[in-house]
Amino acid sequence: MASAKFWSEEDFSCSICLDVFNSPVFTPCGHNFCRTCIATCWDVRGQCRCPFCNELFHTRPDLRVNTLISEMVDRFRSSLRGKTQPCVEPDLRIPEGSSTHQGLGDGGGPSSVIRRDLVESPGTAEGRNTETKRLAELRSAPNELRVGEREKEDALCEPERAS
């Protein structure tokens, strides 16, 4: 007898926005993304490359809806609606003048600044934090390489300075 599979939000998450797929489409390499996410990604980058496997598409692919994933996402969302209980909607705005609000620079006032940590599920926030840490590590890598190069240069030039 086949065992039942309990699906989680992670099973239906776009690797760009980390949310449950919204209008899931697939690329020629077979990876799935939200239609808006992949289109925005390609517009920003200026080239069409799969964000997951990095495959380059020389012409912008015609993205098609992944009907199987789309239907599964619909079923998943329906199953969640039946299990969730209504709750009071929290105030997700960050108070203007708070230290968290400072430096956001959106100019839209307090109502336009939404706290992601209150909106996201713990798993989604955790995934986003992991991605943020990875990006920070990648951004600091060139600096670490430069420091290593300077140390080597100093070590090589030191005998010359002693002469």
Quote the strand ranges of 36-134, DSSP E.
Answer: 48-49, 56-57, 64-65
Contact 92, 28 (CB under 8 A): no
List the alpha helices (DSSP H) in 67-121: 67-83, 116-119
**Would you state the structure tokens that stand for residue 72, as one six-digit string?**
């599964």
CB atoms within 10 A of CB 141: 10
Q: How far apart are CA 135 and CA 122, in angstroms?
A: 20
Domains of the chain: 8-86 (3.30.40.10)
Is pTM beyond 0.85? Reply is no
Instruction: Supply the DSSP symbol for 93.
Output: B
* SS3 assignment, position 28: coil
Per-residue pLDDT of 25-41, as tens digits, reads 999 999 999 999 999 99
Contact 120, 140 (CB under 8 A): no
> 24 exposed, middle or buried (CB, 10 Å; 0-12, 13-18, 19+)?
buried
Tens place of pLDDT per residue across the chain (163 aa): 444 467 777 778 999 999 999 999 999 999 999 999 999 999 999 999 999 999 999 999 999 999 999 999 988 888 877 665 555 555 555 566 655 544 444 444 444 444 444 444 555 555 556 767 776 666 666 666 666 666 666 666 555 555 5
